[in-house]
Amino acid sequence: MTITINDIREAEARIQPYAHRTPVLTNESLNQQVGAQVFLKCENLQKVGAFKFRGACNAVYSLSDEEAARGVCTHSSGNHAAALALAAKMRGIPAYIVMPNNAPAVKKNAVAGYGGRITFCEPTLEARESTLDGIRLDTGANVIHPYNDERVIAGQGTVALELLEDVADLDVIIAPVGGGGLLSGTSIAAAEMKKGIRVIAGEPEMADDAFRSMKAGKIIPSENPKTIADGLLTSLGNLTFPIIQKNVEQIVTVSEAGIIASMKFIWERAKIIIEPSSAVAIGALWEKKINLSGIKIGVIISGGNVDLGKLPWQ
């Protein structure tokens, strides 16, 4: 199946009653700092504090009533889990969530708060998948993968759709890349909405599997990465990678210091709370490894879920 702009438009209509249309903010200090005109699409202000609600919501409301009755399940390091739990709660169906036992407390509490039924496991892909498989066999719940799922990718594509509806003449869109759901959806929407628009990704240097996958021409899995950007630890999927390969110009890696500096700058100047994974997209501008000066850049602020008791500049 190929995901098209029509799937993204359908997703937009499907999630519209449930999701926020998030604002696009500008900040003069940021523009001066990076030497370009930046438009921040604020998915940190989305429900559950992350763009992930869009994909999860689109998936949940794509199910038939019969499918939905069995519930949904997933494994996730956090934001997708909270998003799926809330979307399921809205539809009145159970959400079974497999979480790594090292997920931040704020994310665990969020999932529980939205009524998700959590099973903890070791923080490895193998443990997550086998735990999830057991739950699926027990309950018959529909697996909603955090990113390697057409419905999820189409849902995430609605971010760029809205951004380009609001600011039609962007030259570039920058999004962070983890599993590639947001980036692949963004790239499909962007290519269809504006001829010639460039799509660039930011990725932590310390979790640069997408960067290396693009160079190698095949998926190189992420191996036990250590980065403050805890939403970007996962590897690309067999659905997201080919879309990214086709549509994304390049992946810019960002140092841990660049992520933290970008995050603090946005907190101080733009007065919004962004999580480290979001700061990676700002960091791609911040460290000036590529020349984007003087142009119009849309940056997708992916989420704002941060443990306020554990800030990286304390």
Task: Name the site residues for its own copies (rule: CB under 8 A).
Answer: 20, 23, 25-26, 28, 44-45, 47, 49, 106, 264, 267-274, 304, 308-309, 311, 313-314
CA distance 147 to 76: 10
Reported for 100-105, long-range contacts at CB under 8 A and 24+ positions apart, including other chains, are: 100/124, 100/127, 100/128, 103/77, 103/78, 104/78, 104/230, 104/305, 104/307, 104/310, 105/307
Least spacing, CB of residue 135 vs its own copies, in Å: 27
Q: Which is nearer to its own copies, 66 or 268 (CB)?
A: 268
Give yes or no for a contact between 224 and 234, defined as CB atoms under 8 angstroms apart: no
CA distance 52 to 81: 9
Least spacing, CB of residue 32 vs its own copies, in Å: 10
CA distance 125 to 310: 26
Least spacing, CB of residue 28 vs its own copies, in Å: 7
Residue-wise burial string across 273-294, b where 16 or more C-beta atoms lie within 10 A, e elsewhere: bbbbbbbbbbbbbbbeeeebee
- Work out the angle at residue 168's Cα, subtended by the Cα atoms of residues 163 and 172, and round it to the nearest 5 degrees: 75
By DSSP bridging, strand 142-143 and strand 117-121 are unpaired
Look up residue 12 and give its two tokens.
Answer: 């937009």
Q: Which is nearer to its own copies, 188 or 274 (CB)?
A: 274
Q: Which is nearer to its own copies, 135 or 273 (CB)?
A: 273
Least spacing, CB of residue 308 vs its own copies, in Å: 6
Least spacing, CB of residue 278 vs its own copies, in Å: 10
Q: Which is nearer to its own copies, 49 or 204 (CB)?
A: 49
Q: Which is nearer to its own copies, 226 or 271 (CB)?
A: 271
Q: Which is nearer to its own copies, 120 or 267 (CB)?
A: 267
Least spacing, CB of residue 82 vs its own copies, in Å: 12
